Amino acid sequence: MLSKPPFQHNIEIKATDIDDLGHVNNVVYIRWVQEVAAAHWEHSAPAALKLKYAWVVLRHEIDYKNPAFLKDELTGLTWVGAHSGPKFDRFVKIQSDKKVLAEAKTTWCLLDAKSFKPIRIPQEILELL
C-alpha cells in the first residue's frame, strides 16, 4: 500500500526514440525510467539534500506490455518501495491514456555526494519519497 500518491511526469517521445519497427525502442524505456526517477527527486528534494546526496542505479527490471509510437502522449508514474541501508526499490509505470506500456522495478543506492560512498538512507529522505 502506498503512503503517498505516485509522482507523475510527462514523457516526450522524440523521433530518435523510434526504431526500425516503427515504435519506441526498448532501450528508450530504461532512459525514461531514470528520467522519471530524477524528476521525482528534483521535484521533492530541497537544494541542501541535492548537494549532500547522489543516487546510482544498481539494478533494472522492466516488463514491456505494449508499444509506444511517436505521437503517443505518455506519463511516467513513480513511487518507492522497500528500503534497506543505502538501497531502496523504486517502481515506475509508463502509460498512455489508454494502456500501460511498461512497468519497472529499479534498485537505487544512496551515495554521499562528496565521497561517492554508499550511505544509509536517512529518515528525512524516507519522509520525502
Is residue 68 a part of any domain in this protein?
yes
Is residue 70 a part of any domain in this protein?
yes
The owner of cell 509510437 is 69
Q: Looking at residue 129, what is its pLDDT?
A: 86
Is residue 22 a part of any domain in this protein?
yes
Nearest to 81 by CA among 70, 73, 92: 92
User: Does the predicted model carry a pTM greater than 0.85?
Assistant: yes
DSSP of 54-118, one letter per residue?
EEEEEEEEEEE-S---TT--EEEEEEEEEEETTEEEEEEEEE-SS-EEEEEEEEEEEEETTT--B
- Domain of 48, in residue numbers: 7-128
The SS3 call for residue 40 is helix
Q: Looking at residue 3, what is its pLDDT?
A: 65
Opening angle at CA 57, ends 13 and 38, nearest 5: 45
Rounded Cα gap, residues 58 and 9, in angstroms? 22
Cβ distance 34 to 108 under 8 Å?
no
Counting the structural domains of the chain, the total is 1
Is residue 55 a part of any domain in this protein?
yes
Is residue 37 a part of any domain in this protein?
yes
Is residue 1 a part of any domain in this protein?
no
Is residue 21 a part of any domain in this protein?
yes
Question: What pLDDT tens digit does each residue of the chain (129 aa) get?
Answer: 446 899 999 999 999 999 999 999 999 999 999 999 999 999 999 999 999 999 999 999 999 999 999 999 999 999 999 999 999 999 999 999 889 999 999 999 999 999 999 999 999 999 888
Domain of 57, CATH number, reads 3.10.129.10
